[in-house]
Amino acid sequence: MNLAAELAVRAARHGWRDRTAYLTKSARVSHGQVHDLAARAAQVLAGLGVGPGRRVLLALPDGPEWIITFLAAARLGAVPVLTNPALPAADHAHLVQECEVALIVAEEPLLSRFADRTTIEVGHLMARAATASVARAHPVRPDAPLYIQYTSGTTGRPAGVVHRHGDLAHHHRAVAAHMLRIRATDVSLSVSKLFFAYGFGNSLVYPLYTGSAAVLLADRPSPARIEELADRFAVTVLHAVPSALAHLTAEASPAAFDRVRVAVSAGEPLRPSLADRACRLLGAPVLDELGSTEAGGAFCAQTLAHAVPGTVGKALPGFRVEVRDARNRQVTTPGVEGDLWASGPTLMAGYLQQPARTADVLRDGWLRTGDRAALDEHGNVVHAGRADDLEMVGGITVSPLEIERVLDDHAAVRESAVAAVPDERGATKLRAFVVALDRSDHDVVARELLAEARQRLAPFKVPRSVEFVPALPRTATGKLQRFVLRTGRP
């Protein structure tokens, strides 16, 4: 099999070639155009020395050209390396060296940083592809490397994760078919970008496997931009992160989302209060999912058929999850928290050139996800945050998520985060960082928040202070950078 050839055949077999695959502010591209141009772009890449096993760095903003270049490399049996085009030059240089990249595809402004490597400007690639012949698809086994994707780096230097040609079909079955029931008539919009595992599934895997369409954005969309695009393109499936949903509920109008039938939240725990606000805004269910770069996407989620508020549902088809204690024993007692482990057909073989780090998270076909979780009485997974998010205060380990759920229930709070911050003597004290929904009197809101926390939480979990901030520090994927808050200078 070869993924690129398989998807092209699938589009023809199901009659999708003339259906719109991708929408941008200036173009509509059909499924047939995507696959035809990818087959021709592959011939151009082959002329530049790209072949089976060679690695091609994609340093591109989201757009049809991204999809076409990815499929072109895959058609040759080459391995695209997915990267954020906004990374610093030093980070790109590290990826190029670590992955032994043979070719870089980028826009003109970035090409100068790769002067010592073979490069091609993406517009030039597309222009040459328009008149090139069709490249033959290189046959590969399902377990052959397809692409390398880097982790977000929230717990250390980003690590390269290799995924295979056979992985994408599993994600389609688990998420697009089972969880979301995506059909050819759907139009998706993803806040997360293609170079992240979440965005890759949303904007490449699900549309190409279902014949549906996806809106692609080169930039990071504001709430107003999301609202405008959802209305203009009649979006039916919205993929977001909790921070984006928080801003939407504060700034957007429900009328723009009247054709949305389902939304997805990922990247961080979705607080019940925010889920309720988002459901009211969108007039549709908001499903929480949990995944990772190491798993290639979601492995556990609520679904249209089964969504218990306050949980991330159960393992998706093909996957298993377990909660384990500190001695690596499975925990089945409801409400008892432990480390979350996952297994399934799309787990990475390992981190690129990092065997020790691989051995730390992969054991006997199971992935230690780095998440903390418990099971409810029906076997649903209750996410308790990342293991490295736990705070130590006065010798006691505290989960900030429990505190943040209390703070987020206040009508004046858009979002909050709690961290242990050292005081002038070096003693750590819990501080709540709050983004307000409006211009309410901050002193009054702070007193109300602390009073509510004292009523609902154990004394050692009550923040000592509340600081109002315009925004919380986040990664490009929208994940909270709690380590920044711990400095006391967000």
Domain range annotation of the chain? 3-375, 390-485
397: left (phi over 0), alpha (psi -120 to 50) or beta: beta
Sequence-distant (6+) residues with CB within 8 A of 6 are: none
Q: Can you tell me the distance from the alpha carbon of 50 to that of 77, in angstroms, rounded to the nearest whole number?
A: 9
Q: How far apart are CA 339 and CA 350, in angstroms?
A: 20
The reported pLDDT for the residue numbered 282 is 97
Question: What residues contact 339, with CB distance under 8 A and at least 6 apart?
Answer: 323, 324, 325, 326, 368, 369, 371, 372, 373, 387
| Distance (Å, whole) CA 242 – CA 478 | 8
Q: Which residues does the chain have with pLDDT short of 50?
A: 155
Is the CATH number of domain 390-485 1.10.287.1080?
Answer: no
CATH class of the structural domain 3-375 = alpha beta
Residue 103 exposure: Cα atoms within 13 Å on the Cβ side: 25
**How many other CB atoms are there within 10 angstroms of residue 428's CB atom?**
16
pLDDT at 176: 98
Q: What is the DSSP letter of 173?
A: I
pLDDT recorded at residue 404: 92
Do domains 3-375 and 390-485 share one topology? The answer is no
